[in-house]
Amino acid sequence: MRKYLGILLVALCLPAARAADLPPALGTEVSLPQLLELVKTSSPALQAERTQVAMAEADLMTAQTFSNPSVAYTHKRGEKETTISQDIPIFGQRGARIESAKSGVEAARAQLRLVYAQALQDAARDFMSLLVSQEREKRWLDAKDDLEGAFRIVQGQVQAGARSRYDLTRLEVERASLDAQLAQAQAETLQASARVAASVGAPAWRPRAAGSIVSHWNALSFDAIWPQAQNRLPAVRAALAQQAFAEKQLEAERRQAYPTPTFMVGRLNNNEGRSTEYGVSVAIPLFDRNQGPIARAAAEADGMRLRSRAIVVAAESELRRATEQLNRRQQLADRFEKEGLSMIPRLRQMAQDSYTLGRGSILDLVDAIQAVAEKKNTYLDLLEAVMQAEVDVRIASGELGADLLE
């Protein structure tokens, strides 16, 4: 009995424990700036990428460290010898390794900035999807309210004997259809909320997006955006940092081709007395002149230069496409708002008046309700396309994530 009681208590406390696991900053609603800040501090992908920076910094520590000296001691009858030897890279090998490691740290940080920007991009898109899903759910609720208003009108007509019960039955069928569409919209909102929660590593969180579906973007031409964008785009900066790292590695490999001399100091004790020995040994680069690693590093550097150029060209093309797409979608949404939505209130009222006066059928009334809902959702689709295009422009211009981690 005690066993089952314990299990019951654990089950009752589990939901509360999960809620308590959520960070204090996670409320029931979240705005886009708040979400982006949460991504900065809580994104699992970002936290994992920080370890790459730590590894690069560890490589820098390794490059800065001198090799350990070695001590040799021999003892035989009548003779003792102690020798200390130390490798000294007098041809700049250590300096080249340090410069290469420093460049590796910068490349790792640039990659961290790129991962950060990508996490912001995904979170922004998920936020927009959640905002639109919430609005679509609201639109179906509005359509249901319109149907309920029509239901009261039809019910009054039926009670007055002016209409048959077929009209009520037809509205019942339409009500069931709207309920199904509303349930689907609610499910899509829940899925979008789960994606937002996953972006900050809080799977139990189910936030709602705070804000309104309004585009704040003032269309700019490509020529006005590109000069600043090409200097702050995380992908371009990461590619240039990788290119610099590859070039530093090539220089380090070339320096590594020079031999590193080993200086030795020894003390010899034998029957003839004591003596101090000095010596130096150095490898002769006769066969192995580090040709393979140099050739590999040279190919890597050439590849990174070509890759950097390709990334810059791709970024330019993407910004051109994004700005053109945003302008077209904004114009389409504005035109539909002026030409399509302006007639909705009048259409709804005309359909109700026509049915009340006996000039229209129930099918005309249902058709008007459906047309209003479809027009609103079509406009919502256009607004979603505008908002996603705005996110694309902010991404392609490097604006989203301008506060990149240093």
Predicted confidence at residue 163, as pLDDT, reads 73
Residue 406 three-state SS: coil
Q: CATH number of 41-63+94-255+295-396: 3.30.70.100, 3.40.50.2000, 1.20.1600.10, 3.20.20.80?
A: 1.20.1600.10
Confidence of residue 305 (pLDDT cuts 50, 70, 90): very high
Bridge partners of 76, per DSSP, are: 79
Say what percent of the chain tops pLDDT 90: 30
Quote the radius of gyration of the chain (alpha carbons, Å). Answer: 36
Residue 399 three-state SS: coil
Question: Which token pair is 101?
Answer: 């490691």
For residues 114 and 123, give the distance between their C-alpha atoms in angstroms, rounded to a whole number. 14
Residues 62-76: pLDDT tens digits?
999 989 999 999 988
**Backbone angles phi and psi of 277, in degrees to 5:** -115, 140
**Domain residue spans of the chain:** 41-63+94-255+295-396
**Backbone angles phi and psi of 196, in degrees to 5:** -60, -45
Measured at the alpha carbon of residue 122, what is the angle toward residues 232 and 54, in degrees to the nearest 5?
65
Predicted confidence at residue 130, as pLDDT, reads 92
Burial class (CB in 10 A: 0-12, 13-18, 19+), 338: exposed
Burial class (CB in 10 A: 0-12, 13-18, 19+), 196: buried
All residues at 6 or more sequence positions from 57 whose CB lies less than 8 Å from its CB, including other chains: 105
Predicted confidence at residue 393, as pLDDT, reads 86
For residues 213 and 388, give the distance between their C-alpha atoms in angstroms, rounded to a whole number. 11
**Backbone angles phi and psi of 79, in degrees to 5:** -155, 135
Question: Which token pair is 218?
Answer: 């003032």
Predicted confidence at residue 216, as pLDDT, reads 57
Q: Which of 110, 86, 87, 63 is nearest to 233 (CA)?
A: 110
Between 210 and 401, residue with greater pLDDT: 210
Confidence of residue 9 (pLDDT cuts 50, 70, 90): very low
* Residue 101 CA to its chain's centroid (Å): 27
355, 365 Cβ separation under 8 angstroms: yes
Predicted confidence at residue 196, as pLDDT, reads 92
This prediction has a pTM of 0.73
Q: Which of 373, 381, 377 is nearest to 348 (CA)?
A: 373
Residues 158-184: pLDDT tens digits?
777 767 778 778 888 888 888 898 899
Question: Which token pair is 247?
Answer: 């070039």
For residues 260 and 256, give the distance between their C-alpha atoms in angstroms, rounded to a whole number. 8
Question: Which token pair is 376?
Answer: 């609103």
Q: How far apart are the first and last CA of the chain?
A: 58
Q: Which of 287, 295, 297 is nearest to 103 (CA)?
A: 297
* Residue 74 CA to its chain's centroid (Å): 62
Question: Which token pair is 88?
Answer: 């000294």
250, 301 Cβ separation under 8 angstroms: yes
206, 197 Cβ separation under 8 angstroms: yes
Burial pattern 286-303, b for ≥16 Cβ within 10 A else e, equals eeeeeeeebeebbebbee
Q: Averaging pLDDT over each range in 8-17, 27-36, 175-184, 295-304, which range is the top one?
A: 295-304
